[in-house]
Amino acid sequence: MGLLVGLQIIFWFVGGLVMTVIPLDLVRGEVNMAEGKKASMPAADLSALLAKIDTENLDDVSVREVAGTMVVQLSRAEGADQIYNGTTGELLSPIGTEVAEKVALSDFRYRTDVDMNAEIAVVSSKLLTEEPGDFRRALPVWQILLDDPDGTRIYVSPDTGQVLARRNDYWRVFDFFWMLHIMDYEDREDFNNPLLIITTLTATLFVLTGVILLYFRFWPRRKRR
């Protein structure tokens, strides 16, 4: 049991070291994230556009840009959010491969330590219906793999055209050691799982009993008597 606990303690230290050495903004892909463009629409134009659209059970309305096109996003009490062309009112959800790739490319820019003149390209585009391992949210989702040095994968919502997550090789290394660190080997999210609690209590017990044994081992025998 001591060897097992000691092995987990090594995982905790190594995992902590890895998670402190790798910058968090690099893990999250924020260093390769382009600045978003703010979009707005006159209130009169928005009202005229909403008159063409079914607004039943409407909760929220927002205006933004998707792949260079002004869109209006509608959030309803039930069902997935949808986007409409900001000029014609045409329903754009779900978006196709071409739009998803444009969204991913417009979201990406090379970080400052890489040749900024290098052109980025799409390696593959997949509409995923099963969890890929590095994206643990609602499906389906577009996975756009880019050919940058970090092995970036950008996940785009087919309903709204929003970037839901950015993943890269640094994230995968970080996620592996995070799994070992919190001992959640499936979802990698539960920081309060019973296995971690039991192991932590056992490790604490081993440390305390070790301190007591050291006392009896090294304290002079005359003083002990």
As a whole number of angstroms, the distance between CA 61 and CA 40 comes to: 12
Q: What is the dihedral of CA 109, 84, 139, 147, to 10 degrees?
A: -20
Q: Is 23 within the bounds of a domain?
A: no
Same domain, 121 and 199: no
Same domain, 109 and 142: yes
Q: What is the pLDDT of residue 189?
A: 84
Q: Is 25 within the bounds of a domain?
A: no
Q: What is the pLDDT of residue 103?
A: 94
At what angle are helices 169-182 and 2-21 packed, to 10 degrees? 150
Sheet harboring 69-76: ordered strands across?
58-66, 69-76, 82-85
Same domain, 119 and 43: yes
Domain that holds residue 8: 2-13+176-224
Total Cβ atoms within 10 A of residue 2: 11
Same domain, 48 and 158: yes
Same domain, 54 and 130: yes
From residue 95, how far is each of 42, 84, 139 by CA, in Å? 25, 11, 14
Q: What is the pLDDT of residue 101?
A: 95
Helix spans in 64-193 (H): 97-107, 169-182
Total Cβ atoms within 10 A of residue 197: 11
Same domain, 64 and 134: yes
Q: What is the pLDDT of residue 219?
A: 74
Residue 150 tokens read as 């970090």
Same domain, 159 and 189: no
Residue at which a domain ends, from 146, 167, 188: 167
Residue at which a domain ends, from 145, 167, 189: 167
Same domain, 121 and 217: no
Q: What is the pLDDT of residue 13?
A: 93
Number of compact structural domains in the chain: 2
From residue 132, how far is each of 42, 142, 158, 166 by CA, in Å? 41, 11, 16, 13
Q: What is the pLDDT of residue 170?
A: 94
* C-alpha of 95 from chain center: 21
Name the stretches of the chain with pLDDT < 50.
none
List, for residues 35-64, the tens digit of each pLDDT value. 877 888 888 888 888 888 877 788 889 999
Q: Is 151 within the bounds of a domain?
A: yes
Q: What is the pLDDT of residue 117?
A: 57
Same domain, 181 and 153: no
* C-alpha of 119 from chain center: 25
Q: Which residues pair with 163 in a beta bridge?
A: 156
Q: Is 207 within the bounds of a domain?
A: yes
As a whole number of angstroms, the distance between CA 214 and CA 136 comes to: 47
Instruction: Write down how long the chain is.
Output: 225
Same domain, 45 and 142: yes
Total Cβ atoms within 10 A of residue 99: 20
Residue 175 tokens read as 């996620």
Q: Is 147 within the bounds of a domain?
A: yes
Same domain, 159 and 208: no
Same domain, 38 and 130: yes
